[in-house]
Amino acid sequence: MNELLLILAVAMLVNPKGTRDASLDGKFTQAKSVEAPAFTSARPTVGFHDAARLRRGQRVFQQNCAVCHGRLAEGHPDWRKLGMDGKFPPPPLNGTGHDWHHPKAALVQVIKNGSPGGKGNMPAWQGKLSDQEIEGVIAWFQSLWPPEVRTVWARIDRESKRQ
Ligand code: HEC
């Protein structure tokens, strides 16, 4: 009996708030140490992708995505909280949300197919945007990511291809 109490006490010390270790956030704790970048303009940092692709991507983003995700892809301020409709508000795509947890193939999928199972408010863009436009729009929001986020994402993307 005493042993059981001891185990419980230790478990509480290790995880006092009962945080959800199994969640996506828990797996990528690096996210918390990355400073949110201060954006002063929509001008992306060049160097990750070529300039023509970025310009195309920026146009596609401002015409189709900015209405929900924000002009600087900053997302809804309460994107982590369920909205009145029981669905999540649009998250940031500027490297301060979950966007960089997903390998390229997963980003393409969510953009083409929308919210998984149609359960959220992200529309499906398959048939509305070409593959090239989707590539461009991803390149554009990735160009807003801070360099350290890009480095971690590049590793996640590489590892996803090995599995
Ligand atoms: C009508 C509003 C709306 C529009 C327009 C919209 N989105 Fe979304 N998007 C959302 C919502 C809401 C989510 C969260 C999805 C969920 O909870 O299922 C989301 C999620 C995403 C995600 C996944 C992010 C993550 O962290 O997992 C990506 C990537 C994305 N959107 C890209 C885009 C792109 C690119 C466009 C434009 C071509 C776009 N969205 C247009 C509402 C929108």
Domain-embedded: residue 13: no
Residue pLDDT, tens place only, 45-59: 445 568 888 999 999
Atom 32 (ligand 1): residue with closest C-alpha?
111
Quote the CA–CA distance of 22 and 24 in Å, as a whole number. Answer: 7
The answer on pLDDT for 139 being more than 80 is yes
Q: How many CA atoms lie within 13 A of 64 on its CB side?
A: 21
Domain count, the chain: 1
The CATH code of the domain that includes 93 is: 1.10.760.10
Domain-embedded: residue 69: yes
When comparing pLDDT for 108 and 33, which is higher? 108
Question: Is the distance from CB of 149 to CB of 100 less than 8 angstroms?
Answer: yes
Report the predicted TM-score, pTM, of the whole model to 2 decimal places: 0.76
Domain-embedded: residue 12: no
Ligand 1 site, residue 73, Cβ cutoff 6 A: no
Cα of 65 vs centre of ligand 1, distance in Å, is 7
* Domain around 95: 33-162
Domain-embedded: residue 80: yes
